[in-house]
Structure formats: structure tokens, C-alpha cells
Amino acid sequence: MNLDDFSDLIERPDGSVRRDAEERRERLLVPPGALGRLDELGEWLSAAQQSVPVKPVDRPRVVLFAGDHGVAELDVSGRAAGSTHQLVRAVLDGSSPVAVLARRFSVPVRVVDAGLDCDPELLPESVVRHRVRRGSGRIDVEDALTVEEAEQSVRLGMRIADEEADSGTDLVVLGDLSVGGTTAASTLIAALCGTDASVVTGRGGAGIDDLAWMRKCAAVRDALRRARPVLGDLLELLATVGGADLAATTGFLLQSAVRRMPVVLDGVVSAACALVAQRAAFRAPDWWLAGQVSGEPAQAKALDRMALTPLLDHGLTVGEGSGALLALPLVQAAAALAAELPERAREAGPEEEKAESESEGATA
Ligand SMILES: O=C(O)c1ccc[n+]([C@@H]2O[C@H](COP(=O)([O-])O)[C@@H](O)[C@H]2O)c1
Ligand SMILES: Cc1cc2nc[nH]c2cc1C
């Protein structure tokens, strides 16, 4: 498998539909520009859907890839290594932030175990049956995955994207459940942007103290050293310093773009996977929105590289798709405005005036 093959499979959202949407916008009673960024959001959705007026976004779904990261053993996370299954439980039992928001917005949530480090008996079969391996390796000293496992993970993500597209999901809110995942994500972003560990390393979801931040920086620095030699092969990069959940998310993003399914990105983990996917297929980011800036420096760097401007800036760092889900009502609002605001009553253009005066002359 070569991720670069996706480049030929991914098209841009339809440019001529976009122009039709812009022309419709010009005919609305509401003055040009008066809806701010919601105008371009509506036009982007039109192009993605190939539909003017834009269709309502009424089959959205939250998709969360879950995995544990061996690097969390270094105490670089506010959470215990191997404890991601607890986050998964809280999503499933409705007590986590994303579960509360999903209930409020009536959006179904799907959790996919790509690489949790827990007894599969602890979680429902529907979640664990996709697992590629139990936990990903400690990226500062060993590979996260074998290349075969990386490929299996990418294929898992592709399969989930196909299932969602086939079942009529019209927009995906993408997130992650991954203790230690921001260390891997920061490494991927630093490697692909050619920057330093200290530039990308943030404080993670649970907020870590200065000593933990220094340990995290050192872990990213060591992992970066292992990443640089394999930068030319994206699958190998995901195997070396990614993880099963990150590789699955990358495959999901690529196949979603193939299937013309728009995706809202969440925090630094989805941004890192998006950056890997962009390297494989430069048109892929045209299918994505950035939901929220979380405050992680690596996320800002990745979004900037992809020229994605986040819809919100609310500083949510819990991950699990919550920042992206918060932006969903904005997307739905843009769709409703673009579709439902009335057009001006048609004024007679110069051509029609001429035709009218000619026909008047003929009857006189
Ligand atoms: O969205 C972000 O930028 C963000 C920043 C820090 C942490 N998180 C979330 O917090 C979880 C734990 O991450 P970590 O790397 O701090 O163990 C994981 O699911 C992340 O998605 C998310
Ligand atoms: C205008 C616009 C351009 C984009 N490019 C990628 N995602 C996008 C989303 C919007 C809304």
C-alpha cells in the first residue's frame, strides 16, 4: 500500500456548483457579506454536496478512533498509561463532554477501538471488534506499529469511512480518544513541518506541569530523531511514530475525501492525521473544516500548513471530538441560511426591457 495513490482518487469539491451557489447568494435580499463567514461556509457545503441550494446537514455523526500510546508510560499525559478505555466508557455511558453535546444536538456517536490497551471484555463487541493491536509502541524508543499493522489500521479507517458514506452520513465530526496521543501527534506535525520539539509541544488534555512538559518535549525530540529518516514514506512514518488510532484516522480522512464526505476536524490529533493525509493527497483538505483551535501549538501549526481557519476558538482540550461537535450547529446554520433565505424578486434586465419594448411596438 502507498498512501500517495490517494492523490489521483481525490477530486476537489465541484467548482461550477460553487459558482452557482455564489450566484444564488448574489440574488439574496440580505446584502453581500452581511452573513460573514457563514456565506463561504454555505457555498463550500454546496460545492461538496454538488447541490444548489445546499441540502440541510441532517445526518451528521461523531466518529471517534480510540487507542493507547506506550509513550504515556513516560508520564507525559495527565492520565495513566493504558487508561483510554475509561474515556471510552464515559463516552458510551453518556457522561463525557462529547456525549453530553451529542445528546443535546441529537447526533449519534461511534467509537472505534483501533488500539486500546485493555481487556476486550471490558467494552462492547461493536467497539473492540476493529482492534488492530493492543496499545501502540513507545515511540521514543521503538516503532508504534509494524508497517503491516499500520497498513491494517489505514484500511480499518477506510472501511469505517465507506460504512459511513454508504449509510448516508452527510458530515462527520471526527475526534480521538487517545491517552498519550498528543505526544505522537505533535511528533508527526513537527516531523512534517520540519520544526523542533519545543515549538510543537503543548500541555495536553489534562494539563501537565512544567516537569511533565519537559518529559514530553524530550519524548517528542527522541521520537523526531526516529521519524526523520522515514519521512519519505508516510505509511512507515505512521508505523514509526504514529499509532493504530492515528493511522486509522488518516485512512478515514483519505477515504472520506474519496467519497466526497465532509469532515470537521477536532484537536491536535485529528490535525496531525489530516497533515499526513494532505502529504499523500494535496486536494484532501478541501473536504475538511477545522472545528476549533484548542490551544495546542502543534495544532495551530498543522492547520496553518493546510490553510484551514478554525470556526471556533474556545480552548477545549478534552479532545473526543468535543471542539468539532461544538462547531456543528454553525455548519447547520450556514446550510439553513444558504438554502432558506429568499431571493430578490427578479428585476427586468436590459435584454428583457428591450424585448418588452419591441413587443409593445409590435402590438401598437
Ligand atoms: O484537542 C487538543 O488539542 C487536545 C489537547 C490535549 C489533549 N487532548 C485530548 O486528551 C486526551 C489525552 O491526550 P494526552 O496526549 O494529553 O494524553 C486525548 O484524547 C486528546 O485528544 C486534546
Ligand atoms: C471557504 C472554505 C474553504 C475551505 N477549504 C478547505 N476547507 C474549507 C472550508 C471553507 C468554508
In Å, what is the CA distance from 308 to each residue of 8, 10, 324? 22, 18, 13
Using the mean position of ligand 1's atoms as its centre, give its distance from the Cα of residue 285 in Å. 22
Supply the DSSP string of 37-79, one letter for each residue. HHHHHHHHHHHHHT-SSPPP--SEEEEEEEE-BGGGGGS-SSS
Provide mean pLDDT across the span 15-40: 96
Answer whether 256's CB lies under 8 Å from 11's CB: no
| 292, β-bridge pairs | 312
User: Which atom, in ligand 1's list, is nearest to the CA of 295?
Assistant: 3
Query: Can you tell me whether residue 290 is helix, strand or coil?
Result: strand
- Model confidence pLDDT, tens digit, residues 200-244: 999 876 778 999 999 999 999 999 999 999 999 999 999 999 999
Using the mean position of ligand 1's atoms as its centre, give its distance from the Cα of residue 95 in Å. 18
Instruction: Report pLDDT for 222.
Output: 98
Ligand nearest to the CA of 40: 2
348 secondary structure, DSSP code:
P
Instruction: Report pLDDT for 72.
Output: 98
Does the pLDDT at position 355 exceed 80? no
Instruction: Report pLDDT for 251.
Output: 99
- Model confidence pLDDT, tens digit, residues 110-132: 999 999 999 999 999 999 999 99
Q: Which of 217, 189, 190 is nearest to 203 (CA)?
A: 217
User: What is the CA angle 87-236-260, rounded to 5?
Assistant: 65
Q: Is the peptide bond before 53 cis (omega within 30 degrees of 0)?
A: yes
Q: For ligand 2, is residue 335 a contact (CB within 6 Å)?
A: no
Mean pLDDT of the chain: 95
- Model confidence pLDDT, tens digit, residues 65-97: 999 999 999 999 999 999 999 999 999 999 999
Instruction: Report pLDDT for 258.
Output: 98
312/295 Cα distance (integer angstroms): 11
Instruction: Report pLDDT for 352.
Output: 54
Instruction: Report pLDDT for 363.
Output: 44
Q: Which of 298, 141, 273 is nearest to 218 (CA)?
A: 141
ipTM associated with this complex: 0.95
Using the mean position of ligand 1's atoms as its centre, give its distance from the Cα of residue 187 in Å. 14
Instruction: Report the nearest-CA residue for atom 20 of ligand 1.
Output: 319
Instruction: Report pLDDT for 204.
Output: 73
Enter the pTM of the model. Answer: 0.95
Does the pLDDT at position 276 exceed 60? yes
Instruction: Report pLDDT for 345.
Output: 85
| 64, β-bridge pairs | 111, 175
Main-chain dihedrals φ then ψ at residue 318, nearest 5 degrees? -80, -10
Choose one of 11, 54, 289, 337 to mutate for the ligand 2 pocket test, by most ligand atoms within 8 angstroms of C-beta: 289
CA 322 to chain centre: 12
Instruction: Report pLDDT for 203.
Output: 84
Instruction: Report the nearest-CA residue for atom 2 of ligand 2.
Output: 44
User: Which atom, in ligand 1's list, is nearest to the CA of 269?
Assistant: 21
Ligand 1: lining residues by beta carbon, under 6 Å: 72, 77-79, 176-183, 204-206, 266-269, 294, 296, 299, 317, 319-320
In Å, what is the CA distance from 138 to each residue of 61, 73, 74, 81, 82? 32, 8, 9, 11, 12
Answer whether 316's CB lies under 8 Å from 322's CB: yes
Query: Catalytic site residues?
Result: 320
User: What is the CA angle 250-256-257, rounded to 5?
Assistant: 95
Instruction: Report pLDDT for 254.
Output: 99
Share above pLDDT 70 across residues of the chain, in percent, rounded to a whole number: 95
Tell me how far apart the 2 most distant CA atoms of the chain are, in Å. 93
Instruction: Report pLDDT for 216.
Output: 97
